[in-house]
Copies of this chain bind each other. A is one copy, B any other.
Amino acid sequence: MQKGKASLIFEKDVYIEHGASVVGSKEGEGPLGKYFDVVESDEMAGADSWEKAESRIQSKAVEKLMEKSGVTETEIRYILGGDLLGQLIATTFGVKKYNIPLLGLYGACSTMGEGLGVASILVSSGCADKVIALASSHFASAEKTFRFPLEYANQRPFSATWTVTGCGAVLLTKDKSEKTIAKINGITAGKIVDFGLKDAQNMGACMAPAAADTISRHFEDFGTVPNDYDKIITGDLGVIGQKILIDLLSNKGYDISSKHMDCGIEIYDSDKQDTHAGGSGCGCCASVLTSFIFRQLQNGEWRKVLFVPTGALMSPVSFNEGLSVPGIAHLVSIEAV
């Protein structure tokens, strides 16, 4: 059912049957380390390039998901996936061995929100019974794409985030089972919000306005307030973006300060791990969702959460040409079952 300008409430709930997370060693050493399914000690994942390593991490996440859920390749109707690399090559080479139709998505680090959103529509509308949504990133392939060669060993400003090496994959189903972790009951699609910021080393600030826009529209469309949720979880705003988000929503009359959690802040111990503003990348919130967040929902710690991956819509070319870094945030409303 359409709600407001961009929200949907599903008349038929969509079930999160299972999730799988594969991360790198740095993420494994972080505060959430014990929750991930696989911690890959080799940053190359046995491959000979960073991009292939990211693809292998995607493949491992899909395999882990199939193993945990007992669902086979032939039962999956569509894979919806994306990553940060130009032309989504991590996804192409990560999922091409599966004989499953692919819908490639790009929403920068908001991709997991976009993927879960579209996947939920497919399941809720009866277009598919079982769908996988996934997103990945890799520290080194992202540094190579967006920042500096690792060998250059540049200094990083404190506003910069550290791209997570990881992939999260989620299996959505139309039917509930004993294994079902949670359900998705609605979404709010993101709009591009551009405050004109141009600092690609401060992406939290670039994305926070988009998160504030999507979250406030969600409250309006669903007629809810922050206290209706156990957690309001953004993707990778980091410590600077978090502050801006809380301020912007406060200006709109919503105090989320006691409810807000950012996957980028949680995934590393910034002081000990030298990650500055926090973690980022498509794989950041995707891997935290499929590990810690799902566990909290499964254990009854949380009943109702908003999952709001945030993306910075830039490329090396747009940055070098002096363009701004617009943000986008796609919201998924998740409830325990």
Contact = CB atoms under 8 A, between A and B. Distances in A.
Interface of A: 1-2, 5-6, 8, 49, 51-52, 77-78, 82, 84-89, 92-93, 95-96, 99-108, 114, 117-118, 121-122, 124-129, 145, 189-192, 194, 313-318, 321, 323, 326, 328
Given A87-B108, A88-B313, A2 B77 contact: yes
Contacts of A124: 125
Instruction: Give the 7 A-B CB pairs with smallest separation, nearest first.
Output: A86-B86, A125-B125, A101-B189, A87-B315, A96-B192, A6-B101, A92-B313
A129 B6 CA distance: 11
Given A89-B313, A101-B190, 9 more contacts: A2-B128, A6-B78, A49-B321, A92-B192, A93-B323, A103-B107, A105-B105, A106-B106, A124-B125
Contacts of A100: 191
Contacts of A128: 2
Contacts of A191: 99-102
22 contacts: A1-B126, A51-B317, A51-B318, A52-B323, A82-B106, A84-B87, A85-B86, A86-B87, A86-B316, A87-B318, A89-B313, A89-B314, A92-B314, A96-B194, A101-B190, A102-B189, A104-B107, A104-B114, A104-B313, A105-B106, A121-B121, A125-B126
B102 A104 contact: no
Nearest to A80: B118
B89 A317 contact: yes
Nearest to A77: B6
Q: Which of A52, A317, A326 has the most CB of B within 10 A?
A: A317
Nearest to A146: B87
A78 B315 contact: no
Contacts of A114: 103-104
Given A106-B82, A127-B2, A326 B92 contact: yes
Nearest to A102: B192
Nearest to A115: B103
Contacts of A192: 92, 95-96, 102
Given A2-B127, A127-B8, A128-B2, A89 B51 contact: no
Nearest to A48: B321
A57 B93 CA distance: 31
Contacts of A121: 121-122, 125, 127
A88 to B, nearest CB: 5
Contact of A86 (B52, B127, B317, B326): B317
A106 B126 contact: no
Contacts of A317: 51, 85-86, 89, 145
Given A125-B125, A313-B92, A87 B106 contact: yes
Given A103-B114, A104-B114, A125-B125, A189 B78 contact: yes
